[in-house]
Amino acid sequence: MKDIDWDSHESELKKIKGLYKISIHKLIHKWQPTNKMVQRNEKRAIHTANCTECEEVDDQLHYIKCNSEYFEDARKYAWKKFRNVMKKYKRNETMIRIMWIGIKRWVYDELEEDIPRGDEVNDEQFKALKLAYQHQGDIGWSNFIVGRFSKHWSKYYELRLKEDEEKNGKVMAFARDLVRATWKFTLSVWGSHNEKVHGKNNKYSSRNVQGIQQCIREIYDNFKHRVSTEYEWLFREEARIRCDQSVPQMIGWLESVLICLVDMQDAIEVVTKSQRLLCRMSITSIFE
Ligand SMILES: [Zn+2]
């Protein structure tokens, strides 16, 4: 694991904020509310743990490897987002194509080693690309899709830069964009997963909405003045206003606030209660 480019991963992680940060944390720590997880947290087993599209269990990151047509299309669509982030790096089509091949071979458990060569790379650069591809295979493409990639991708990029003073900064910026692009890719497929599970128009029962409001008030009453400064922004609005917001907004707030409460011993009860409620409502699609 020492050959993973941790520097860019960690610095990108520090930069992101708010709900997006939470989505990324869930992704990299494998806490995404998949069907399996929702079912486990459900008192009455009304949800299936299986994937909506195939016979397999919908556990962490299943959606990224699911062989169904739906998820294949979702990945193709999501890859456009990856390319969008990386498009500022002109004439890097070969690298992007090779990454896509790597992901596809991993998804379908194909073991081929050959990779295509494009016009824009010279011998030395192609050698570097091959090395990056092999290395990523060793580290695992399952790491790539959560933004943990081989240092050799940056080494390849470095070879493509002319000698200049800002070379190091440019390589770092490239590596960080790569992290951002892979997160975008994976979260986009996750968004398709959620759309399929919940549909776009979720209806909320009034009992659940009241439950959410109750949790919000409880958290305000007991923890508003005790959270660290980093999280004070979450309490900028009054509880009354917070409880007047739309259901997805309330849920979003609750999801955010739970992260800052997990280390507080006396918050366990309200955290558990909220998590159950959120699972019951199975609302995940808003956290794309
Ligand atoms: Zn599946």
pLDDT surpasses 90 at 142: yes
Are both 172 and 215 inside the same structural domain? Answer: no
pLDDT surpasses 70 at 174: yes
Ligand 1 centroid distance, CA of 116 (Å) = 29
pLDDT for 288 equals 35
Rounded Cα distance between 95 and 101, Å, is 10
pLDDT for 203 equals 65
Residue 61 within any structural domain of the chain: yes
Ligand 1 centroid distance, CA of 186 (Å) = 15
Rounded Cα distance between 238 and 109, Å, is 52
Q: Quick one: average pLDDT of 184-207?
A: 78
Nearest CA-CA partner of 76 in 98, 100, 99, 60: 100
Ligand 1 centroid distance, CA of 233 (Å) = 38
Are both 283 and 211 inside the same structural domain? Answer: yes
Ligand 1 centroid distance, CA of 180 (Å) = 25
Are both 146 and 224 inside the same structural domain? Answer: no
Residue 34 within any structural domain of the chain: yes
pLDDT for 43 equals 57
| Residue after which a domain boundary falls, among 159, 180, 198 | 198
Ligand 1 centroid distance, CA of 52 (Å) = 6
Residue 278 within any structural domain of the chain: yes
Residue 16 within any structural domain of the chain: yes
Are both 283 and 159 inside the same structural domain? Answer: no
Residue range 91-111, pLDDT digits in tens:
889 999 999 999 999 999 998
Are both 38 and 135 inside the same structural domain? Answer: yes
pTM exceeds 0.85: no
Residue 1 within any structural domain of the chain: no
Are both 138 and 162 inside the same structural domain? Answer: yes
Percent of the chain with pLDDT over 70: 92
Ligand 1 centroid distance, CA of 114 (Å) = 28
pLDDT for 152 equals 96
pLDDT surpasses 80 at 45: no
Number of domains in the chain: 2
Of the pLDDT bands very low, low, confident and very high (cuts 50, 70, 90), residue 79 is very high
| Residue after which a domain boundary falls, among 198, 230, 261 | 198
Are both 18 and 61 inside the same structural domain? Answer: yes
Are both 221 and 91 inside the same structural domain? Answer: no
pLDDT for 198 equals 65
Ligand 1 centroid distance, CA of 267 (Å) = 36
Mean pLDDT over the full length of the chain:
87
132 vs 162: which has the higher pLDDT: 132
Do 148 and 139 form a contact (C-beta atoms < 8 A)? yes
The encoded tokens of residue 181 equal: 């692009």
Nearest CA-CA partner of 287 in 164, 167, 202: 202
Residue 259 CB coordination number (10 Å): 15
42 vs 242: which has the higher pLDDT: 242
pLDDT surpasses 80 at 201: no
Are both 187 and 228 inside the same structural domain? Answer: no
Q: Quick one: average pLDDT of 69-85?
A: 94
Rounded Cα distance between 177 and 182, Å, is 9
Of the pLDDT bands very low, low, confident and very high (cuts 50, 70, 90), residue 42 is low
Q: Write out the residue range of the structural domain in which residue 194 sits.
A: 6-198
Do 176 and 261 form a contact (C-beta atoms < 8 A)? no
Ligand 1 centroid distance, CA of 108 (Å) = 12
